[in-house]
Protein backbone atom coordinates (compact mmCIF):
# COMPACT_ATOMS: atom_id res chain seq x y z
CA UNK A 1 0.00 0.00 0.00
CA UNK A 2 1.12 3.55 -0.68
CA UNK A 3 1.71 5.09 2.74
CA UNK A 4 2.60 8.53 1.35
CA UNK A 5 0.52 9.94 -1.52
CA UNK A 6 1.85 12.90 -3.48
CA UNK A 7 0.15 15.23 -5.95
CA UNK A 8 0.24 16.53 -8.58
CA UNK A 9 2.36 14.21 -10.70
CA UNK A 10 3.54 17.14 -12.81
CA UNK A 11 3.37 20.90 -12.47
CA UNK A 12 4.10 23.79 -14.81
CA UNK A 13 4.58 27.23 -13.27
CA UNK A 14 5.60 30.58 -14.71
CA UNK A 15 8.77 32.24 -13.46
CA UNK A 16 7.97 34.24 -10.34
CA UNK A 17 4.91 32.16 -9.50
CA UNK A 18 4.21 29.91 -6.52
CA UNK A 19 4.65 26.14 -6.84
CA UNK A 20 2.62 23.99 -4.46
CA UNK A 21 3.05 20.25 -4.00
CA UNK A 22 0.89 18.25 -1.60
CA UNK A 23 1.40 15.03 0.32
CA UNK A 24 -0.82 12.93 2.55
CA UNK A 25 0.20 10.13 4.88
CA UNK A 26 -1.56 7.36 6.76
CA UNK A 27 0.77 6.15 9.49
CA UNK A 28 0.32 8.25 12.63
CA UNK A 29 3.68 6.97 13.91
CA UNK A 30 5.48 9.07 11.30
CA UNK A 31 7.37 11.85 13.04
CA UNK A 32 9.71 13.20 10.40
CA UNK A 33 8.75 14.70 7.02
CA UNK A 34 11.54 15.69 4.62
CA UNK A 35 11.37 16.95 1.05
CA UNK A 36 13.98 15.91 -1.49
CA UNK A 37 14.90 17.58 -4.79
CA UNK A 38 16.25 15.60 -7.74
CA UNK A 39 17.79 16.94 -10.93
CA UNK A 40 17.97 14.72 -14.05
CA UNK A 41 20.72 12.14 -13.85
CA UNK A 42 21.45 12.88 -10.18
CA UNK A 43 20.50 11.37 -6.86
CA UNK A 44 17.94 13.15 -4.66
CA UNK A 45 19.18 15.75 -2.17
CA UNK A 46 17.54 16.94 1.03
CA UNK A 47 15.79 20.28 0.54
CA UNK A 48 13.92 20.97 3.78
CA UNK A 49 12.39 18.91 6.59
CA UNK A 50 9.88 19.30 9.41
CA UNK A 51 8.78 17.60 12.62
CA UNK A 52 5.06 17.44 13.55
CA UNK A 53 5.51 19.73 16.56
CA UNK A 54 5.52 22.78 14.25
CA UNK A 55 2.96 23.77 11.61
CA UNK A 56 5.29 25.63 9.28
CA UNK A 57 8.97 25.84 8.43
CA UNK A 58 10.56 28.29 6.04
CA UNK A 59 14.03 28.21 4.49
CA UNK A 60 14.57 30.91 1.90
CA UNK A 61 11.96 30.54 -0.84
CA UNK A 62 10.92 27.07 0.36
CA UNK A 63 8.21 26.54 2.99
CA UNK A 64 6.70 23.36 4.44
CA UNK A 65 3.17 23.61 5.81
CA UNK A 66 2.10 20.77 8.10
CA UNK A 67 -1.43 19.80 9.20
CA UNK A 68 -1.21 17.03 11.76
CA UNK A 69 -4.97 16.50 12.18
CA UNK A 70 -5.47 16.11 8.43
CA UNK A 71 -2.26 14.07 8.06
CA UNK A 72 -1.15 16.32 5.23
CA UNK A 73 1.88 18.42 4.44
CA UNK A 74 2.87 20.56 1.51
CA UNK A 75 5.84 22.29 -0.09
CA UNK A 76 5.51 25.86 -1.30
CA UNK A 77 8.16 27.36 -3.58
CA UNK A 78 7.84 31.13 -3.70
CA UNK A 79 9.12 33.20 -6.63
CA UNK A 80 9.75 30.01 -8.62
CA UNK A 81 12.79 30.11 -10.91
CA UNK A 82 13.77 28.02 -13.96
CA UNK A 83 16.60 26.59 -11.85
CA UNK A 84 13.94 25.07 -9.57
CA UNK A 85 12.86 22.78 -12.43
CA UNK A 86 13.38 19.31 -10.97
CA UNK A 87 11.52 16.36 -9.49
CA UNK A 88 10.40 16.80 -5.88
CA UNK A 89 9.70 13.97 -3.47
CA UNK A 90 8.02 14.15 -0.12
CA UNK A 91 8.88 11.46 2.39
CA UNK A 92 8.03 10.33 5.90
CA UNK A 93 9.49 8.11 8.56
CA UNK A 94 9.06 6.90 12.09
CA UNK A 95 12.38 8.53 12.78
CA UNK A 96 12.49 7.91 16.54
CA UNK A 97 12.11 4.14 16.14
CA UNK A 98 13.35 3.52 12.60
CA UNK A 99 15.68 6.33 11.67
CA UNK A 100 16.85 6.00 8.10
CA UNK A 101 13.81 4.08 6.86
CA UNK A 102 12.13 6.65 4.63
CA UNK A 103 8.86 6.11 2.75
CA UNK A 104 8.70 8.32 -0.34
CA UNK A 105 5.80 9.79 -2.29
CA UNK A 106 5.49 9.21 -6.02
CA UNK A 107 7.26 12.44 -7.01
CA UNK A 108 6.25 15.68 -8.75
CA UNK A 109 8.01 16.87 -11.89
CA UNK A 110 8.15 20.68 -11.70
CA UNK A 111 8.83 22.79 -14.77
CA UNK A 112 9.27 26.54 -14.33
CA UNK A 113 8.83 28.45 -17.59
CA UNK A 114 10.84 31.64 -18.13
CA UNK B 1 35.18 13.51 0.76
CA UNK B 2 33.81 11.52 -2.17
CA UNK B 3 30.48 11.10 -0.37
CA UNK B 4 28.45 8.12 -1.62
CA UNK B 5 29.84 6.34 -4.67
CA UNK B 6 28.10 3.69 -6.76
CA UNK B 7 29.40 1.39 -9.46
CA UNK B 8 28.64 0.67 -12.20
CA UNK B 9 26.74 3.67 -13.62
CA UNK B 10 25.01 1.54 -16.26
CA UNK B 11 24.49 -2.21 -16.59
CA UNK B 12 22.62 -4.49 -18.98
CA UNK B 13 21.87 -8.04 -17.85
CA UNK B 14 20.10 -11.00 -19.35
CA UNK B 15 17.29 -12.69 -17.43
CA UNK B 16 18.74 -15.11 -14.91
CA UNK B 17 22.17 -13.50 -14.62
CA UNK B 18 23.49 -12.39 -11.27
CA UNK B 19 25.39 -9.28 -10.34
CA UNK B 20 26.37 -7.02 -7.46
CA UNK B 21 25.81 -3.29 -7.34
CA UNK B 22 28.53 -1.65 -5.31
CA UNK B 23 28.03 1.20 -2.84
CA UNK B 24 30.60 2.90 -0.64
CA UNK B 25 30.61 5.96 1.61
CA UNK B 26 33.43 7.79 3.33
CA UNK B 27 31.41 9.85 5.80
CA UNK B 28 31.42 7.23 8.59
CA UNK B 29 27.61 7.10 8.55
CA UNK B 30 25.99 4.24 10.43
CA UNK B 31 22.82 4.04 8.32
CA UNK B 32 22.86 2.89 4.70
CA UNK B 33 19.96 2.11 2.37
CA UNK B 34 19.16 0.87 -1.11
CA UNK B 35 16.24 2.28 -3.11
CA UNK B 36 14.89 1.63 -6.56
CA UNK B 37 13.28 4.41 -8.59
CA UNK B 38 10.61 3.66 -11.16
CA UNK B 39 8.43 6.14 -13.10
CA UNK B 40 5.33 7.10 -11.12
CA UNK B 41 6.41 5.03 -8.13
CA UNK B 42 8.85 7.33 -6.41
CA UNK B 43 11.72 5.73 -4.53
CA UNK B 44 11.02 2.44 -2.80
CA UNK B 45 13.22 1.08 -0.05
CA UNK B 46 14.74 -2.33 -0.82
CA UNK B 47 17.00 -3.01 2.18
CA UNK B 48 18.67 -0.91 4.81
CA UNK B 49 21.31 -1.23 7.50
CA UNK B 50 21.74 0.52 10.84
CA UNK B 51 25.35 -0.55 11.21
CA UNK B 52 27.96 -3.14 10.27
CA UNK B 53 26.51 -6.63 10.59
CA UNK B 54 22.89 -5.43 10.84
CA UNK B 55 20.48 -5.37 7.90
CA UNK B 56 16.71 -5.31 7.52
CA UNK B 57 14.14 -5.47 4.75
CA UNK B 58 12.37 -2.49 3.24
CA UNK B 59 9.21 -2.31 1.12
CA UNK B 60 10.41 -4.35 -1.89
CA UNK B 61 13.13 -6.81 -0.75
CA UNK B 62 12.25 -9.83 -2.91
CA UNK B 63 14.96 -10.78 -5.39
CA UNK B 64 17.68 -8.80 -3.62
CA UNK B 65 20.26 -9.65 -0.96
CA UNK B 66 22.50 -7.37 1.07
CA UNK B 67 25.27 -7.66 3.63
CA UNK B 68 27.17 -5.08 5.64
CA UNK B 69 30.61 -6.29 6.73
CA UNK B 70 32.09 -2.78 7.12
CA UNK B 71 30.73 0.68 7.88
CA UNK B 72 31.85 1.91 4.45
CA UNK B 73 30.39 -0.69 2.07
CA UNK B 74 26.85 -1.89 1.41
CA UNK B 75 26.61 -4.04 -1.76
CA UNK B 76 23.29 -5.08 -3.29
CA UNK B 77 23.12 -8.51 -4.94
CA UNK B 78 20.69 -9.65 -7.59
CA UNK B 79 20.84 -13.44 -7.55
CA UNK B 80 18.75 -14.13 -10.68
CA UNK B 81 17.84 -10.96 -12.58
CA UNK B 82 14.31 -10.51 -13.91
CA UNK B 83 12.92 -7.86 -16.31
CA UNK B 84 10.87 -6.48 -13.40
CA UNK B 85 14.16 -5.43 -11.81
CA UNK B 86 14.87 -2.96 -14.61
CA UNK B 87 15.16 0.29 -12.70
CA UNK B 88 17.46 3.00 -11.41
CA UNK B 89 19.06 1.99 -8.12
CA UNK B 90 20.18 4.51 -5.53
CA UNK B 91 22.31 3.88 -2.50
CA UNK B 92 22.17 6.31 0.42
CA UNK B 93 23.98 6.80 3.68
CA UNK B 94 22.44 8.81 6.47
CA UNK B 95 23.07 10.47 9.78
CA UNK B 96 20.93 12.27 12.33
CA UNK B 97 20.81 15.92 11.26
CA UNK B 98 19.28 18.98 12.90
CA UNK B 99 15.72 17.84 12.27
CA UNK B 100 15.92 14.12 11.59
CA UNK B 101 17.72 11.44 9.66
CA UNK B 102 19.32 13.10 6.62
CA UNK B 103 20.03 10.82 3.68
CA UNK B 104 22.87 11.43 1.21
CA UNK B 105 22.29 9.70 -2.11
CA UNK B 106 24.78 8.35 -4.60
CA UNK B 107 24.53 9.09 -8.35
CA UNK B 108 22.61 5.91 -9.13
CA UNK B 109 23.01 2.78 -11.26
CA UNK B 110 20.74 2.37 -14.27
CA UNK B 111 20.03 -1.35 -14.71
CA UNK B 112 18.30 -2.94 -17.69
CA UNK B 113 17.33 -6.62 -17.61
CA UNK B 114 16.52 -8.13 -21.01
- CA dihedral B48→B50→A72→A21, nearest 10 degrees, is -60
Q: Is A94 on the interface with B (CB under 8 A)?
A: no
Give the pLDDT band (50/70/90) at residue A97. low
Q: Is B106 on the interface with A (CB under 8 A)?
A: yes
Nearest to A47 by CA among A32, A31, A59, A29: A59
Q: Do A43 and B107 touch (CB under 8 A)?
A: yes
Note whether B76 and B90 are within 8 A (CB): no
Nearest to B94 by CA among A61, A24, A43, A16: A43
What's the pLDDT score for residue A64? 97
Nearest C-alpha in A relative to B48: A101
Q: Do A95 and B101 touch (CB under 8 A)?
A: yes
Q: Is A42 exposed, middle or buried (0-12, 13-18, 19+ CB in 10 A)?
A: middle
Indicate the helix (H) or strand (E) that contains A95.
helix A95-98
As a whole-number percent, the residues of chain B with pLDDT over 90 amount to 88
Spell out which residues of chain B touch residue A94, defining contact as CB-CB under 8 Å: none
The distance of A89 to chain B (nearest Cα, Å) reads 7
Nearest to B15 by CA among B78, B79, B82, B62: B82
Nearest CB to A49: which of B4, B41, B99?
B99
Render pLDDT for B26-68 as a digit per residue (tens, 0 to 9).
Answer: 999 999 999 999 988 899 999 999 999 999 999 999 999 999 9
Amino acid sequence: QQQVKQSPQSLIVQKGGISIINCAYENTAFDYFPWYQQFPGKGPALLIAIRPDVSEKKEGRFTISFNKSAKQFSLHIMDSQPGDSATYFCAASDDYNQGGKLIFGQGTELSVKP
Amino acid sequence: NAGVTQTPKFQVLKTGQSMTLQCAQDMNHEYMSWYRQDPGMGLRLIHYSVGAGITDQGEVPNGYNVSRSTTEDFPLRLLSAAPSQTSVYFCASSVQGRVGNEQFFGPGTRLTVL
